[in-house]
């Protein structure tokens, strides 16, 4: 089988004989998706140019859990809906674009383990940071409908490779392996030294294997690459800004009273980062409240 990870092994250091990381990552990728296939299928359906609300409703009806989540989301301020008594009413109130975001959010939440010990992360912390990145990315592309939905997916799924890496480490003989690096850049360097690749590259290949479009998986894979390529460079820069805003949002939720004090007036794509922060914080707080209900 051709190696799907076109990365040379770091520093020429051989991997431990009992830990073929590339094979382990591939095995974990092939073991996914989980029982949440229907939410993933709904997301893909909403991205099709011929998708309509009746077809979306038919897909949702096949999964009672998905049906409940969609009706529940129709009452959520996060999706700007007024509420509905039936699935049909909920689908019509939410619309295809928001249904796609709901489906993607449900899929992500259901593939996240309770803990990502390899990265010292709880599942809830991972989800909140992912939601924040997705919301920030979408805000940066507001007014550009198709771009905004792609941006949301890139932001939401930018760290999905950590789930694969965490599972592979857990199943290996090096299950105590952990990364303590404080910045993403240093984390990527440590991963490359250990595995010969980063969680971003693993995540990109995983998303490609699971059927996501190149417009989503390509920018995710080059997050820490020096040569990003013309098509992915803008997305990668936007993702870096969104990760920064997401970190400030998490700081705020944890009690930091003014995490954007020195950066709020800065602009990216003509948008004040303070505005991106406020919008993203509102989305994440609303999602957290929804989880409590």
Mean pLDDT score, 103-114: 89
Average pLDDT, the chain: 86
* DSSP character at residue 293: -
* Domain assignments of the chain as residue spans, ordered by start: 33-111, 114-293
Residue 7: the pLDDT is: 40
On the question of pLDDT at 13 being above 50, the answer is: no
Mean pLDDT score, 130-150: 93
Instruction: Report the C-alpha gap between 153 and 11 in whole angstroms.
Output: 33
Residue 253: the pLDDT is: 93
Residue 16: the pLDDT is: 46
Instruction: Name the token pair of 110.
Output: 């259901």
Residue 213: the pLDDT is: 93
On the question of pLDDT at 17 being above 60, the answer is: no
Handedness of CA 54, 59, 63, 66 (dihedral sign): negative
Q: Which long-range contacts (CB under 8 A, 24 or more apart) does 178-181 make?
A: 178/117, 178/118, 178/119, 178/120, 179/118, 179/119, 179/120, 180/120
Residue 229: the pLDDT is: 64
pLDDT higher at 3 or 280: 280
Residue 78: the pLDDT is: 62
pLDDT digits (tens, 9 = 90+) for 53-87: 999 999 999 888 889 888 888 777 666 556 677 88
Give the alpha-carbon dihedral of 217, 218, 220, 226, to 10 degrees.
Answer: 160
Residue 83: the pLDDT is: 62
pTM reported for the whole predicted model: 0.88
Domain 114-293, architecture per CATH:
Orthogonal Bundle (1.10)
Half-sphere exposure (Cβ direction) of 111: Cα atoms closer than 13 Å = 31
Instruction: Report the C-alpha gap between 277 and 272 in whole angstroms.
Output: 9
Instruction: Report the C-alpha gap between 107 and 291 in whole angstroms.
Output: 15
Helical ranges in the chain per DSSP H: 21-31, 37-46, 53-61, 64-73, 87-111, 123-140, 145-157, 161-171, 184-195, 199-209, 214-221, 230-253, 273-292
Instruction: Report the C-alpha gap between 63 and 81 in whole angstroms.
Output: 22
Percent of the chain with pLDDT over 90: 60
On the question of pLDDT at 209 being above 70, the answer is: yes
Q: How confident is the model at residue 150 (pLDDT cuts 50, 70, 90)?
A: very high
Residue 97 CB neighbour total at 10 angstroms: 16
Residue 38: the pLDDT is: 84
């Amino acid at each position: 089988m051709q190696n799907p990870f076109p990365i040379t092994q770091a520093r020429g250091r051989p991997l431990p004989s009992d830990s073929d990381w590339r094979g382990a990552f591939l095995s974990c990728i092939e073991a996914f998706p989980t029982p949440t296939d229907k939410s993933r299928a709904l997301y893909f359906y909403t991205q099709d140019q011929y998708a309509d609300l009746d077809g979306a409703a038919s897909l949702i009806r096949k999964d009672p859990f998905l049906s409940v989540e969609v009706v529940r989301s129709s009452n959520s301020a996060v999706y700007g809906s007024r509420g509905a008594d039936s699935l049909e009413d909920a689908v019509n109130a939410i619309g295809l674009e928001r249904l796609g975001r709901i489906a993607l959010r449900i899929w992500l939440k259901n593939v996240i383990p309770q803990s990502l010990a390899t990265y010292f992360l709880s599942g809830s912390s991972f989800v909140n940071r992912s939601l924040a990145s997705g919301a920030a990315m979408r805000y940066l592309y507001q007014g550009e409908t198709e771009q905004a939905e792609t941006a949301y997916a890139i932001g939401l799924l930018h760290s999905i490779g950590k789930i694969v890496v965490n599972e592979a480490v857990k199943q290996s003989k090096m299950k105590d392996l952990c990364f303590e690096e404080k910045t993403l850049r240093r984390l990527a360097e440590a991963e490359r030294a250990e595995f010969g690749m980063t969680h971003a590259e693993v995540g990109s290949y995983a998303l490609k294997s699971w059927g996501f479009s190149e417009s989503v998986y390509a920018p995710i894979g080059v997050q820490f690459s020096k040569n990003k390529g013309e098509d992915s460079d803008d997305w990668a820069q936007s993702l870096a800004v969104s990760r920064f805003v997401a970190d400030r949002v998490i700081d705020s939720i944890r009690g930091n009273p003014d995490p954007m004090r020195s950066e709020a007036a800065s602009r990216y794509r003509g948008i004040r980062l303070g505005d991106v922060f406020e919008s993203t914080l509102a989305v994440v707080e609303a999602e957290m409240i929804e989880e409590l209900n």
